[in-house]
Amino acid sequence: MTGTFEAFQISDRVFWVGAIDWSIRDFHGYLTDRGTTYNAFLIKGDQKNVLVDTVKKPFYEEMYSRIASVIDPSTIDTVISHHAELDHSGSLPALVAAVRPTNVLTSKAGVDALSQHFSLDVPVQAVPSGTTMELGDIRLTFHDTRMLHWPESMVSWLDGDDILFSQDGFGMHLASSQRWTDELNAELIHRETAKYYANILMPFAGPVSKVVGKLGPVIQKAKIIANEHGPMWRSGIEELLGWYNRWSERKPTRKVVITYASMWQSTATMARAIAEGAAQGGMQVALMGLDTAHRSDIAMELLDAGALVVGSPNLNGFMYPTVADLLTYLKGLKPKGLVGAAFGSYGWSPAALDQVQAALQEIKMDLVAEPLGVKYVPTTQDWQACRQLGKTVAERVQSLCG
């Protein structure tokens, strides 16, 4: 494929040499309905050439072709591995075999992680956090960013070009022929950045907050943030930092997410009545049926929500499968500071309601009421109870928001 794909120059001596994955629709359970990119970067020095990360293994030839459009790939001296996950390191063995670099630089934990993934026939060297290295005229400073979002994660700063290579930080799953965020719709960029944070970084909000706080002065002086998924940042960086700080703080807002599954529409009508009560209580409402809403989109809505209300019918003595799927997924994401409630229709047994309530407790939600159950079809009195549950949730959220 050499000659097919070309590099994209982002500064005087840095080139994007990544790959575009237009087709991917699932990333560890996260709906990537707009595809993604795997961003790798070539630093072309006067004396040495450095490759910053690689791409997912099936896209090796695309990356290699882009590198070859700038330099002879065999002149790559050093490869930097910021993150050992296979969407960034999968092409590393093939690249090392093809170009025989002098070494691979990574974090201390990265040495172990790479050795547990591959057998690389070149030295893999640990770079202590805070170290500045001069590779010819290329001056890079490395910072460990543990749990953003793996233990071995690190970032690097390219002096002179003022580029922060941020690996998975500040990225998004978004395939595009445009390389810069400011070339795309601003609302789309916000949405995909929020969705990425919610589904990848939410469980690590504490470490993310510490890293952003520690590296804040470095990030603020960056001319470019070269993230490794989606378009890169050359403007709007201060606003981006504001988003990350707000999402990491997890302060509740006057927003209620109501999600449910329904077999014969009884639980669905309950959900609509609860939504009406929450709206009457001054809440913005996101009503999301699990027949159409994906778990990862619900997670994104929770980033700025004050409450999650979950409804399920009873199926064979258990909560509905899509509800169980959602709650299992959210348990791993660890959303914090949410008011919660459970509801649903049942026929023979209300067991599903207790299971939903227990799952919300495991996620450490502030439950405002016992599960609200209706046998078979809601009556006018039941709808009134649903509307009141919505108002009760709204009142609790209002008290938390001040």
Catalytically annotated residues: 28, 83, 85, 87, 149, 168, 196, 229
CA distances from residue 74 to 8, 186, 196 in whole angstroms, order as listed: 19, 39, 35
CA distance 233 to 390: 40
The tokens of 44 are what?
């072309």
CA distance 241 to 75: 37
Helix (H, G, I), strand (E, B) or coil at 157: strand
344 CB-side CA count, 13 A: 32
CA distances from residue 248 to 171, 201, 317 in whole angstroms, order as listed: 15, 9, 38
Helix (H, G, I), strand (E, B) or coil at 339: strand
The tokens of 330 are what?
């959210």
Type of residue found at 201: L
Residues pairing with 142 in the sheet:
156
Please state the three-class secondary structure of 311-338 as a single string: ECCEECCEECHHHHHHHHHHHHHCCCCC
- CB contact at 8 A, 327 and 302: no
Return the percent helix, strand and coil in the chain, to nearest 5: 40, 25, 35
- CB contact at 8 A, 96 and 122: yes
